[in-house]
A = this chain, B = another copy of it.
């Protein structure tokens, strides 16, 4: 057990310093390494396998709604980027510029894509002519670059992996519906596969995406009570189609501008997963996306028959992502490693177990131990993983509910955040961005969203006291 304690001791306690705990887990669980290029990280095999699982599930969910994958150019000419003014203003401070190709300077600077609305718009122009060509439902998996000042693994980095969906439609209604549909895909994926509950709602004008008519978001709450925007879906109306001249002939043979959406989710979701489920022993990964679901650890593995039994069990469990840890480390060290890496289920099997025809199962989330017969193990494992997946969501939902408060008055609202408490605070808002700005300046708190499920907390704005228009979720956010 000395080994185990040592490895665990290598990460800071989350209660002591949550930020340091987060970074420690990213590194010690082998998800990433810092590169020698500021703001850029290396995603290591374990982190990338996790991303692959997330990508594959999300990709299937997209395709089930008719979305098709494409690939668009990485570099965007400045003139193309500038056609839609709001977008370029929003991204200008964050763009990395290519100014030379080989030994020659370029006549026009090229942006490394920070997002691809402009390139898609440029493409649509030739891609669509008639209402028969609509809708177009495109998506790409790629990396983007945004020149952030402060960076943290997964949460904010100068390059990150994401998917960006881009669609165009014949009518406003259809485009608006698609915006909501894809938000629901994110919410369902986060809940069902990542075990992360979210609040669905609309961003205020101040917080919406540059160039969007409206932005919808799924907001999650981390273990420390701070919020994390975990996926966004944008309705652009006809802004881009007018700026880039994307028209089609409708059923009445009239020329119309298309209606446009985009929606994106990133490796940030890995950050959310770490901060929602992790504990002082490290990561806890939901079974659906875990690179390894079952870690079989032989006890006294040099004794006759032990390794064979462990390997036989792995064969029986081949329907799961399973590994046998037959390295020459001590069982205690292996336990600690499995816990650090958040592998959902550990199976301990030693000479005495084999004799008794049993083994010991340990769930990563609850650390609960069960002795169970080896015979029929595949059904037991299936049930436990299924239960674990559901209970992780329940636990996270309870945590979010426990940390969701209401503030009827300005005093209540300020007292909550000034006392150093976090969590979501539901409070009314008059609709004026000036109030959001004041709250941010005073408390560092931002409006996370105007939730679809509105409640009447009070009659007046929590900032200025004027009549309220909407209930808003407020929080400190990552």
Contact = CB atoms under 8 A, between A and B. Distances in A.
A44 interface: yes
Interface in A36-81: 36-37, 40-45, 48-49, 51-52, 68-77, 80
A407 interface: no
Name which of A69, A93, A122, A161 has the most chain B CB atoms within 10 A of its CB. Answer: A69
Interface stretch (A96-104, A386-394, A443-451): A96-104
A174 interface: no
A138 B80 CA distance: 37
Nearest to A41: B73
Interface string A427-448: 0000000000000000000000
B145 A74 contact: yes
Contacts of A138: 45
A122 to B, nearest CB: 6
Contact of A69 (B52, B77, B123): B52
B74 A33 contact: no
Contacts of A102: 92-96, 147
Given A42-B70, A45-B68, A102-B147, A75 B37 contact: yes
A40 B76 CA distance: 10
Place the interface of chain A in its size category: 35 or more
A292 B82 CA distance: 39
Contacts of A80: 36-37
A7 interface: no
B126 A33 contact: yes
A87 interface: no
A127 interface: yes
A112 interface: yes
Nearest to A328: B132
Contacts of A100: 96-97, 99, 109
B36 A159 contact: no
A42 B73 contact: yes
A75 B147 contact: no
Contact of A36 (B68, B69, B122): B122
A77 B36 CA distance: 9
A465 B70 CA distance: 52
A59 to B, nearest CB: 9
Given A95-B102, A98-B96, A74 B36 contact: no
Interface string A366-387: 0000000000000000000000
Q: Give the number of times this chain occurs in the complex, counting copies.
A: 2
A76 B127 CA distance: 35
Nearest to A51: B71
Contacts of A103: 92-93
Contacts of A70: 42-45, 48
A143 B101 contact: no
A34 to B, nearest CB: 9
Contacts of A76: 37
Nearest to A136: B45
Given A101-B96, A143-B142, A73 B159 contact: yes
A102 B112 CA distance: 11
A110 interface: yes
A354 interface: no
Nearest to A91: B102
A253 interface: no
A75 B45 contact: no
B75 A119 contact: no
A254 interface: no
B71 A48 contact: yes
A99 B99 contact: yes
B49 A68 contact: yes
Interface in A117-150: 119, 122-123, 126-127, 138, 142-143, 145, 147
16 contacts: A33-B123, A33-B126, A35-B123, A37-B73, A37-B75, A42-B70, A43-B71, A48-B68, A48-B70, A48-B71, A75-B96, A75-B112, A75-B145, A96-B100, A96-B101, A97-B98
Given A71-B161, A97-B99, 10 more contacts: A33-B123, A35-B123, A41-B73, A42-B72, A43-B70, A48-B70, A93-B102, A96-B100, A96-B101, A101-B147
